[in-house]
Amino acid sequence: MVAYYRSVLITGASSGLGRALAVECAAPGGGLHLSGRDVARLEATAAACRARGAAVQTRVLDVCDEAAMAAWITGAGRLDLVVANAGISAGTGRGRAESAAQTRAVFAANLDGMLNTALPALTAMRAQAPGPDGVRGRIAVVASIAGFVPAPGAPAYCASKAAADSWTVAAAQTARRDGIVMTSLCPGYVRTAMTARNRFPMPGLMEADRAARIMLRGIAAGRRRVVFPWWMGVAARLVGLLPPRLSGALLSIPPGKDGLPGEP
């Protein structure tokens, strides 16, 4: 059973996890603020949510645009849940090093884009009146189990997700004193357009709608970090504890991925 939120804002909602989260949050009487960069796919998500009875407003935005993101979030009115979901994935592919442009693009979308969502949300929620449970609002950041391991096949992606997870968990304690609940969401492999380009086996591969329900349950429970599948999280933590030369050898076995797919 997914918790009901009267007003939800989600970035990267035009496909993958963002779309799945939006559809799961859609309910009669609820309002959704959805952003993405692909107009047609974003409107398709909005139509699916409206079919479930939700009122939907869409905005074509790049999360890397700090001013536009702040204006959108502060102008959305009261927000019960904000999900910083937008991000991109890329890797070294065929043993090539990541280019400077690719590295910066991944960090810009996955870290700066996340902060461009979470920081204005924190400011807006501090000004909101608390609900009956004392909570002014909830902010969830989509990180990744990849953030637990320095995989040579995707250095910028792993590092950006590690930073996103660490910042969210650390900031959650202070935010909670202000009545704001923050959650870092660390999934394993989820079947999306982003993972479709992976040229290696993906253990624990999960459908996006199932992943969205797990995430929303963790958010509603007020958990600071949601890791799933749990066994993959444990394995990633153990590999991350190995000496870098050994962990690097283990993580170099799967081929990487090329390019810069994703929805920032």
Separation in Å, CA 151 to CA 56, 156, 159, 200, 233 = 38, 9, 9, 14, 14
Separation in Å, CA 24 to CA 53, 79, 256 = 12, 17, 32
The sign of the torsion formed by the CA atoms of 256, 189, 110, 224 equals negative
What 3-state class would DSSP assign to 35?
strand
Q: Are strands 87-88 and 262-263 parallel, antiparallel or unpaired?
A: antiparallel
Active site residue 189: no
The sign of the torsion formed by the CA atoms of 110, 227, 179, 217 equals positive
The sign of the torsion formed by the CA atoms of 27, 45, 51, 226 equals negative
DSSP state, residue 53: T
Q: Are strands 31-36 and 55-60 parallel, antiparallel or unpaired?
A: parallel
Q: Which of 4, 5, 157, 189 is catalytic?
A: 157
Active site residues: 157
